[in-house]
Amino acid sequence: MSKVIIIGAGGVANVVAKKCAQNDQVFTEVLIATRTVAKADKIVAEIKEHMPHSKAVFTTATVDADNVPELVGLINDFGPKMVINVALPYQDLTIMDACLETGVHYLDTANYEPKDVAKFEYSWQWAYQDRFKDKGLMALLGCGFDPGATQAFTAWHAKHHFQEIHYLDIVDCNNGNHGKAFATNFNPEINIREITANGRYWENGQWVETQPLEISQDIYYPKVATRKSFVLYHEELESLVKHFPTIKRARFWMTFGEAYIKHLNVLEGIGMTSIEPIDFRGMKVAPIEFLKAVLPAPESLAAGYSGQTCIGVQAKGIGKDGQPKVHFVYNVKDHADCYREVQAQGVSYTTGVPAMIGAMLMLQGEWMQPGVWNVEQLDPDPFFDAMNKWGLPISELADIELVKD
C-alpha cells in the first residue's frame, strides 16, 4: 500500500521496523536510513530471520539527518509517502524541512530540543503549522507512548468519561531489571538531560518549577507493583493543558530506583552529565556525549530483561453524568514478551508500536489531515483499537484514586 522511510536505527527504530513488517498490508516498502548503516542492516537481517513470511520489502541507506540536502536527496530517490522520524530530537526540524521540500508526510516520537540547551518544547514545531497545511501535508508530533499514547488516553477520557477534566496525572513505571549497575532505557543523552533538569507541572494556569526529583510519592501500578515515583517535566503536558483548558493541574510521574538515583547523583556531581563542551586533547567534547559512549546502548539491554512496564493516565473531574469522577487508563507490558516478539526491551517496544500505529492511521486516512498535530487532537478510538490489536492492550480502572493530591 505505502512506501515509508524510517530515520534512525536504535531500539525504537528496531520495533517500528518489525511492526511494519508484521503489518505488511499497509507498509509495503520500507527504507531504514541512519548514520551507521550497519545498525540498519542488522534490523533487516533480523526481520528476514524472525519474520520470513512478511511481504514488506526492506532496504537500508546511510544519511546524515542534520543535513537537509542529503535528506532531500534520500527522500526523492526512494519516493516514500511519509517519513517516520525516530532519530534524535535535535534532528526534528531538519527532517521536517526535508519533508516539506519533498512533499511527504512526517511523524516523530519526541519533540524538538536544541542540542546545546536542555530545553524541549513544541513551539519550534508548532510554528510549522501553516507550511504543512498549505502544502497539504501532515506532521504528527510525539506519537510514541509518552508522549503519544498518553495523549490518546487523555482524549479517550475526554470523549468517553468526562465533561471536564480538572486533574491529570501521567504515570510511567518501569519495574524491570536489565542486570546492569547503571543504564538508561532509551538514548542516554536525552534520558539524562530530561531527568537532571528542573521539574515542572501545571497548576491554576501557570507552570510551577521544582528541583530535579524534588516531589515524590508511592504510587500503585496495577498488575505490577507499588513504586516510588517522582515529578518531572514531560513534553506532552505542554500540549495537553493547551488543548484541554479545563485542566487545573497536570503532572508527570516516573519511577526511579535508589541505585539509579545514586549513580546519577555521582555522575552529576563530577560533571559527567553536563552538556557544556570541554577541551579534551584538542577536541571539544560534551561530558554527557562521552558518558553516552561509555554506557550500554539501550537496544543491548533487551536480552534477559525481566519485569514489566506500566504507563497510564489518571483523570479527575466531572463525569458525563455530572458527578465527580476519577478514572485510570493504562497499559502493562512484559519485557521478556517484547524480546520474544521483536528482540527489544519494553521501553523501546512501548514507544515503537504507537509510532507504527500513528503512521498506519495516517496512511489509511483515519487520522490524515494537513497541518501539524498532537495526538490528543485526533480521534482516540481507532488508536485504541490498534493498540489492542498490535501488542499494547489497554485496561481501565474506575473510581480508584491511584495518584494522590
Q: Give pLDDT tens digits for 71-98.
A: 999 999 999 999 999 999 999 999 999 9
Beta strands 283-285 and 278-280, pairing class: antiparallel
State residue 111's pLDDT score.
93
Count of domains observed in the chain: 2
Question: What CATH number does the domain containing 307 carry?
Answer: 3.30.360.10
β-bridge mates for residue 158, sequence order: none
Model confidence over 256-308: pLDDT tens digits? 988 888 888 888 888 888 888 989 888 888 888 888 888 888 888 888 899 99
Residues 77 and 174 in one domain: no
Residues 42 and 87 in one domain: yes
State residue 118's pLDDT score.
64
Instruction: Label residue 197 exposed, middle or buried (CB < 10 Å: 0-12, 13-18, 19+).
Output: middle
CB hemisphere CA count around 14 (13 angstroms):
27
Instruction: Give domain status of residue 294, yes or no.
Output: yes
Final residue of a domain: which of 106, 141, 176? 141
Final residue of a domain: which of 86, 117, 141? 141
Instruction: Give domain status of residue 360, yes or no.
Output: no
Please give the model's pTM, rounded to 2 decimal places: 0.95
Residues 85 and 6 in one domain: yes
Question: What CATH number does the domain containing 27 carry?
Answer: 3.40.50.720
> How many angstroms separate the CA atoms of 345 and 82, rounded?
26
- Residue 286 CA from chain centroid, whole number: 24
Final residue of a domain: which of 141, 173, 190? 141
Residues 158 and 106 in one domain: no
From residue 360, give the alpha-carbon distance in Å to each of 26, 87, 394.
7, 19, 19
> How many angstroms separate the CA atoms of 189 and 272, rounded?
11
Dig out the grid coordinates for 369 from the structure.
489531515
> How many angstroms separate the CA atoms of 133 and 248, rounded?
31
Q: Of 394, 392, 395, which Cα lies nearest the Cα of 341?
A: 392
From residue 217, give the alpha-carbon distance in Å to each of 227, 234, 282, 291.
8, 17, 46, 30
Residues 124 and 195 in one domain: no
Range of the domain at 79: 2-141
> How many angstroms separate the CA atoms of 225 and 205, rounded?
33
State residue 183's pLDDT score.
84
Residues 162 and 134 in one domain: no
Instruction: Map residue 47 onto helix, strand or coil.
Output: helix
